[in-house]
Structure 1
């Protein structure tokens, strides 16, 4: 299967790859630490308010362009799964999964989920969105997003949810789970320049959102919502003249 991505420094890659600056600064999705207040929590989060290329966005009016296909090389992986208090995150132990864009390799570092979706497509929100965070040898980040709709269950998601600890910050190891089952067959995508969707909202992240969706059963979606205990999606951000391209 194939896909594309591009990126920015990993000194704080989405969810869980936080910098030392972020340690001890509480942010979240409820109370006084909601997305609207992130920039007020510490000067290091000012980009959440001042940035002009912030994510997520509403995908609308995409421009058709001749771009290279996404090359996605996903297979069996080992690592751990954890509820880190913000999301359910899967970390790779020995990263072997990667994508190739314009001849450059971006290695999958981790992936996590937001319910409901953060990005929208033509104004439509989805029950769940997966963010697959990659970086290249220069430390640049590329996030590939996959939307999930209610439908047939996903056996791989079922496996992950069955081993997830009920307690926060308790990683559970797993071995040889084929994460290619997360991917749709089509490689159609939208691409734009954006940011991390969590503090410090660093910009320079290349976003690739797959056009085709995947499905989860109603029960699987409810399990995610139960684990999150609240919505964990940042509101849509203005485009500020950015172009969105599609293949």
Structure 2
């Protein structure tokens, strides 16, 4: 583990797992507003906020028009946090403080992954047994999904896509690992995912012996900050770890995704007074 300085910390938060996080990929409540405060005490759990794959929200949302991101907060009182301009995700990853941070240790098992079309994304529901540990805290991988184009930007640059790998710990705290995707060569680790995308919500596909660990880049340095779900209810307190090194996917693979899921990215939100950290080495 790398040197842990006072400003070094691991965010923790409770999270609401969306049925598709556009992913819905993302988290729940915490009083922590910055990385340095988020790990000092246990995060509250939010078991009632977690939905199973394929579950449908009482109030639907979208990415354009009257149900688009600008109007999410007005669709339901449960989505009120979407109007917050200071603690939301995604953000532009610019101006980060570069400091030594605790390593992320991934212990991902190969297993059968169930693909589900949630309308907002295609979600891969993970079998039990895969974990991520950071600074002595262990999170279990529950699912991954894709946003196209990417939700986080880097100094104003928008990437072709973004994978979100969603983890929760025993208390209900959530850690989301983001992997930015750039257009280039086809990615073999994601080949089966793109080739077997279920076209509708009634269709489920099993990826037998899927190696989720292969989705991660070799360089494990990350941007870290405390944010929110990137889809309604936009719950805050999510621990974000966005990989600095992007992974290449082909134009054909992205086209396969677009043939099933339309654009599903929330615009970037203000960083505000939050601390944005980047792993030094």
Residues 5 and 227 (structure 1), Cα distance of their counterparts in 2 relative to 1, 3 Å cut: farther
TM-score after normalising by structure 1: 0.91
Q: Distance in 2 between matches of 1:166 and 1:236?
A: 28
Paired residue secondary structure (1:184): coil
Task: Say whether 1:29 aligns with 2:66.
Answer: no
1:168 to 196, 201, 219: 201
1:9 to 2, 6, 14: 14
Distance apart, 1:12 and its partner CA: 3.6
> Partner residue of 1:198?
231
Q: Distance in 2 between matches of 1:237 and 1:5?
A: 21
> Partner residue of 1:183?
216
Residues 6 and 234 (structure 1), Cα distance of their counterparts in 2 relative to 1, 3 Å cut: same
Unaligned runs of 5+ in 1: none
Runs of 4+ displaced beyond 4 Å: none
> Partner residue of 2:41?
none
Paired residue secondary structure (1:46): helix
Distance apart, 1:37 and its partner CA: 0.4
Task: Say whether 1:245 aligns with 2:277.
Answer: yes
1:40-79 equivalent positions in 2, closer than 5 A: 40-50=74-84, 52-79=86-113
Unaligned runs of 5+ in 2: 1-8, 25-49
Paired residue secondary structure (1:160): helix
Tell me the number of residue pairs that the alignment of Structure 1 and Structure 2 aligns: 241
Q: Is the contact between residue 192 and residue 207 of structure 2 (CA under 8 Å) also seen in structure 1? A: no
TM-score after normalising by structure 2: 0.81
Task: Give the alignment's Cα RMSD to 1 decimal.
Answer: 2.0
Which is further off, 166-175 or 145-154? Answer: 166-175
Which is further off, 7-16 or 96-105? Answer: 7-16
1:28-177 equivalent positions in 2, closer than 5 A: 28-50=62-84, 52-92=86-126, 94-177=127-210
Paired residue secondary structure (2:270): coil
